[in-house]
């Protein structure tokens, strides 16, 4: 019968033979060097410490006794004078060797325990004892080496986690995490690995062949929406994001995909969402835009163009709107629709708005010095109202350039105002009190109760181009435009129709009482030199 020896046993056997050979070699060297009275005797510490450190306390002590036997009683104290060592010296040396072996074994055990604890803290979440990101990386590397494959991953995010933590403290929120993690371990037993990536998000990496939809269904059925934590009933809303894979993705890409998916499920107010490559590419594009815009401010890539506002009866210019244009050195012209919304999601919008204020007020002052007095409107973001320095910059520039405040208009979109009325009301009232005009842009798209028309200081309504473009062929759109114009007149507001693209629209608007229009048919946004020439005769 063939005997198969375990590889680990082979390694242990080889190591023990090595220690034995090393010990005998050390004994031979000591004997040849002249006996135990020479310093060469200390060479025997090498196999003792090696044995204790690598094999533990028992082996260290045993190796110490073996070393004691090798170094006495038959090892002479001196081979040159043929002098035997005393038993007291041999016994003490043997005891000391055993002590050294035991201490090296103790040190090895403590060191390994420390490293094991450190690895545990480094690779596992302290609350749930689930693998963290580093633990997942190690696990994936280990299994990839054995050609492990996976079918995809699921991210599970607790939407109310931050609120629960604020309301009840870390004890309750950690208890919630533990309960959910225990349930996930049961659900995913033998089908994949469960990890915790951040405070409110778990990750499941599924084995090859496991159906993702089935596991999400199982999670939704098993995980409760209400937990009793520290005698407190807590409602929990879980969102799922998933991504399928044939195992070709590395862990970082896989986690990025499911994270994007679960964020999309929360934003869209749905329970689950699948990874969308198009949205992922859009995120990459947003990152590029933010980075490039940061450089654009200092590299003079941004320019202000000015679109005229025209009296529909006389065709004369009665105002201008400052509009940003971006010419990237490699991508060329980048439309405002591409970067403005992205910019408003960052604090970079404040630096951007300050640049617009500085450029527009400087140009408005230059026109006034030429004898061209025309109102100019600039667009501000709701984010700007959280930074007092932006509004202060506007007032400072008006004062520095000695511009009459009634020639400056501040435009805000209706959709932004409907959710932030109380936050901006006092600021806008202060601006109006100083003589500035307040305009509501994209009027009709905010789906609000219009209560801001009497809560906020409004001077100008700009009817959104969606209604202007549709009013000729759509009676409902025409009715909305007509009502907006009548409402503006009754409230003593200036009404401006945006997006006029043809003569028919312009004539229809003039007929129903709209006095001011803006759009490509009346004048496209123009650079300073071109719009200045138009302003000289105040006509397009």
Residue 449 has pLDDT above 50, yes or no: no
Band (pLDDT 50/70/90 cuts) for residue 86 is low
Question: Residue 291: inside a domain, yes or no?
Answer: no
Burial of residue 36 (CB within 10 Å: 0-12, 13-18, 19+) is: buried
- Percentage above 90 pLDDT, the chain: 34
Cβ–Cβ < 8 Å for 184, 219: yes
Q: What is the pLDDT of residue 446?
A: 57
Strands (E), 422-486: 437-443, 460-463
pLDDT tens track for 353-364: 999 999 999 999
Give mean pLDDT, residues 197-219: 88
CB 267 within 8 A of CB 289: no
- Which of the listed residues 60, 95, 123 is the one where a domain comes to its end? 123
**CATH code of the domain covering residue 228:** 3.30.70.270
Taking only the tens place, the pLDDT of each residue in 496-539 is: 999 999 999 999 999 999 989 999 999 999 999 999 998 987 65
Query: Which helix or strand (DSSP H or E) is residue 355 part of?
Result: helix 348-369
Structure-token pair, residue 442: 């994209």
Quote the pLDDT of residue 348: 87
For residue 5, the model assigns a pLDDT of: 40
Q: Which residue has the higher pLDDT, 447 or 22?
A: 22
Domain co-membership, 148 together with 204: yes
Residues 138 and 118 occupy one common structural domain: no
DSSP state of 521: T
Residue 346 in any domain: the answer is no
Confidence at residue 147, expressed as pLDDT on a 0 to 100 scale: 41
Q: What is the pLDDT of residue 362?
A: 96
Query: Does residue 286 surpass a pLDDT of 80?
Result: no
Instruction: Tell me: pLDDT of 172 over 50.
Output: yes
pLDDT at 363: 96
Same domain, yes or no: 383 and 467: yes
CATH of the domain at 479: 3.20.20.450
Q: What is the pTM of this model?
A: 0.66
Please report the pLDDT score of residue 472 as a whole number: 92
The pair of structure tokens assigned to 172 is 């309750």
Which residue from 184, 125, 186 is spatially nearest to 155, judged by alpha carbons?
184
Whether residue 195 sits in one domain with residue 69:
no
CB atoms within 10 A of CB 465: 18
Domain annotation covers residue 526: yes
The candidate with the shortest Cα–Cα distance to 504, out of 519, 485, 488, is 519
What does the DSSP assignment read for 164-201? HHHHH-HHHHHHHHHHHHHHHHHHTTTTEEEEEEETTE
Neighbours of 103 (CB within 10 A): 17
Residue 53: the pLDDT is 83
Decide if pLDDT at 21 tops 80: yes
Is residue 288 included in any domain, yes or no?
no
Domain finish residue from 123, 150, 180: 123
More confident site: 491 or 539:
491
Three-state SS letters, 91-140:
HHHHHHHHHHHHHHHHHHHHHHHHHHHHHHHHHECCCCCCECHHHHHHHH
- pLDDT digits 0-9 by tens, 338-393: 888 888 888 889 999 999 999 999 999 999 999 999 999 999 988 888 889 999 99
Position 3 confidence tier, pLDDT thresholds 50, 70, 90: very low
Q: What's the domain range around 95?
A: 7-123
In whole angstroms, give the CA distance from residue 452 to residue 435.
20
489 and 510 belong to one structural domain: yes
Who has greater pLDDT, 330 or 508?
A: 508
CA count, 13 A, side-chain hemisphere, 273: 21
Rounded to whole angstroms, the Cα distance separating 283 from 293 reads: 15
Dig out the tokens for 66 from the structure.
């073996």
Element (H, E) at 48: helix 45-55
Euclidean distance between CA atoms 259 and 254, whole angstroms: 9
Residue 128, domain member (yes or no): no
Spatial CA neighbour of 130 closest among 210, 191, 198: 198
Is residue 70 a part of any domain in this protein? yes
Domain total of the chain: 3
Res 99 pLDDT > 50: yes
Question: Is pLDDT of 462 > 80?
Answer: yes
In a domain, 145, yes or no: yes
* Range of lowest pLDDT (19-28, 131-140, 171-180, 413-422): 413-422
282-286, 372-376, 399-403, 461-465: the lowest-pLDDT one? 282-286
Mean pLDDT rounded to a whole number for the chain: 84
Output the pLDDT for position 144: 61
Q: Note the pLDDT of residue 369.
A: 92
Q: 139 and 93 share a domain?
A: no
Considering the domain architecture, whether residues 362 and 507 belong to the same structural domain is answered as: yes
The encoded tokens of residue 274 equal 């699948």
- Residue 2 pLDDT greater than 50, yes or no: no
Helix 57-70 vs helix 45-55: crossing angle, to nearest 10: 160
At residue 10, the pLDDT reads 77
Domain membership of residue 297 (yes or no) is no
The reply to whether 27 and 58 lie within a common domain is yes
Is 195 found in the same domain as 119?
no
Asked whether the predicted pLDDT for residue 22 surpasses 90, the reply is no
Both 227 and 376 in one domain: the answer is no
Give the confidence band of 146 by pLDDT, cuts at 50, 70, 90.
Answer: very low
pLDDT at site 4: 38
Whether residues 225 and 247 share a domain: the answer is yes
Residue with tokens 């074994």: 105
Residues 6+ apart with CB under 8 A from 481: 463, 467, 468, 471, 497, 509, 512, 514
User: Which whole-number Å values give the CA distances from 449 to 91, 459, 468, 508, in the listed order?
Assistant: 99, 18, 21, 27
Average pLDDT over residues 128-139: 87
Position 48 scores a pLDDT of: 84
- Torsion region of 402: left, alpha or beta (phi above 0 gives left; psi -120 to 50 gives alpha): left
Cα end-to-end span (Å), the chain: 105
Residue 106 banded pLDDT, cuts 50, 70, 90:
confident
**pLDDT grade, residue 307 (50/70/90)?**
very high
Highest mean pLDDT of the ranges 14-18, 31-35, 75-79? 14-18
Q: Does the pLDDT at position 419 exceed 60?
A: no
What pLDDT is attached to residue 420? 62
Q: How many Å apart are CA 503 and CA 498, to the nearest integer?
A: 14
Mean pLDDT of 98-106: 86
CB 15 within 8 A of CB 54: yes
Q: Which of 19-33, 48-62, 107-121, 158-172 has the highest mean pLDDT?
A: 158-172
Q: List pLDDT tens digits, range 28-68.
A: 887 777 777 777 787 888 888 888 888 888 888 888 888 88
pLDDT at site 447: 47
Residues 54 and 179 in one domain: no
């Amino acid at each position: 019968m063939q005997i198969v020896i375990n590889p680990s046993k082979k390694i242990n056997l080889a190591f023990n033979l090595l220690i034995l050979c090393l010990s005998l070699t050390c004994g031979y060297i000591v004997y040849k060097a002249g006996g135990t009275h020479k310093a060469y005797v200390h060479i025997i510490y090498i196999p003792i410490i090696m044995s204790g450190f690598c094999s533990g306390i028992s082996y260290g002590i045993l190796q110490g006794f073996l070393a004691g036997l090798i170094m006495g009683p038959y090892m002479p104290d001196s081979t040159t004078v043929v002098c035997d060592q005393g038993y007291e010296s041999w016994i003490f040396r043997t005891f000391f060797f055993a002590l050294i072996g035991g201490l090296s074994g103790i040190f090895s055990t403590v060191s390994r325990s420390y490293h094991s604890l450190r690895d545990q803290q480094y690779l596992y979440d302290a609350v749930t004892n689930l693998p963290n990101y580093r633990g997942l990386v190690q696990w994936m590397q280990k299994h990839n080496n054995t050609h492990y494959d996976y079918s995809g991953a699921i991210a599970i995010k607790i939407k109310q986690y931050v609120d629960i933590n604020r309301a009840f403290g870390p004890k309750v929120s950690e208890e919630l995490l533990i309960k959910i993690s225990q349930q996930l371990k049961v659900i995913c037993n033998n089908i994949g690995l469960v990890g915790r990536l951040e405070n409110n998000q778990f990750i499941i990496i599924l084995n090859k062949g496991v159906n993702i939809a089935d596991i999400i269904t199982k999670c939704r059925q098993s995980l409760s929406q209400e937990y009793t934590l520290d005698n407190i009933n807590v409602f929990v809303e879980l969102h799922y994001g998933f991504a399928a894979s044939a195992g070709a993705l590395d862990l970082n890409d896989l986690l990025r995909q499911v994270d994007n998916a679960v964020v999309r499920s929360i934003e869209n107010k749905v329970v689950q969402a699948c990874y969308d490559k198009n949205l992922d590419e859009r995120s990459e594009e947003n990152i590029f835009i933010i980075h490039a815009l940061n450089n654009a401010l200092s590299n003079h890539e941004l320019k202000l163009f000015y679109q005229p506002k025209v009296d529909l009866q006389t065709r004369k210019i009665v105002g201008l709107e400052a509009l940003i244009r971006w010419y990237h050195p490699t991508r060329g012209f980048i439309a405002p629709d591409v970067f403005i919304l992205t910019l408003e999601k960052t604090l970079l919008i404040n630096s951007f708005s300050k640049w617009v204020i500085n450029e527009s007020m400087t140009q408005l002052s230059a026109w006034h010095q030429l004898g061209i007095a025309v109102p100019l409107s600039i667009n501000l973001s709701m984010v700007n109202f959280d930074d007092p320095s932006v509004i202060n910059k506007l007032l400072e520039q008006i004062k520095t350039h000695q511009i009459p405040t009634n020639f400056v208009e501040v435009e805000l979109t209706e959709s932004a105002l409907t959710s932030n009325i109380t936050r901006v009301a006092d600021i806008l009232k202060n601006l109006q009190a100083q003589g500035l005009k307040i305009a509501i842009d994209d009027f009709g798209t905010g789906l609000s109760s219009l209560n801001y028309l009497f809560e906020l200081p409004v001077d100008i309504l700009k009817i959104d181009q969606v209604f202007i473009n549709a009013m000729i062929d759509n009676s409902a759109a025409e009715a909305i435009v007509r009502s907006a114009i009548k409402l503006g007149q009754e409230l003593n507001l200036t009404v401006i129709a945006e997006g006029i693209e043809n003569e028919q629209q312009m004539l229809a608007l003039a007929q129903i009482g709209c006095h001011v229009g803006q759009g490509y048919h009346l004048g496209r946004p123009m650079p300073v030199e071109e719009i200045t020439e138009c302003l000289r005769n105040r006509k397009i």
